[in-house]
Structure formats: C-alpha cells, structure tokens
C-alpha cells in the first residue's frame, strides 16, 4: 500500500502506538535524523513529518498509559 502511494507522489499518516518504553519515540527521532541519546517519556503526543522525494509521511507518536 505505501509503495503504491509513493509512486503517485501522495502522502500518508501513520499512528504509532505501543507500550511505554517500547521505543516509539526513538524510532521516530532516528527516522527524522535527530539525536537519540537523550530521550524523555512522551507527554501528550509528537508529530513528525518526513519527506522523501515526492512522498510525505506524517507520524503520530502517542504517549501515556
């Protein structure tokens, strides 16, 4: 599905859910090229927009229990 969207130059949104301390924020920061040595628990949510060629991916990282 994502490959088909990428070919058309579209965008997609992805909600990242999981248990606390599972690495959700670490993955998002690594994908966006941010430093991952100091990561604190997410309060609320983080939104990351990644653009590769003509494909835009919006990642939502939801924190809390």
The residues assigned a catalytic role are: 65
CB count within 10 Å of CB 17 equals 9
Q: 56, 48 in Cβ contact below 8 A?
A: no
């Amino acid at each position: 599905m994502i490959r088909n969207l990428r070919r058309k130059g579209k965008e997609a949104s992805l909600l990242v859910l999981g248990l606390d301390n599972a690495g959700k924020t670490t993955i998002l920061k690594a994908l966006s090229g941010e430093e991952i040595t100091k990561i604190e628990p997410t309060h609320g949510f983080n939104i990351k927009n990644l653009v590769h060629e003509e494909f835009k991916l919006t990642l939502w990282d939801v924190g809390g229990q």
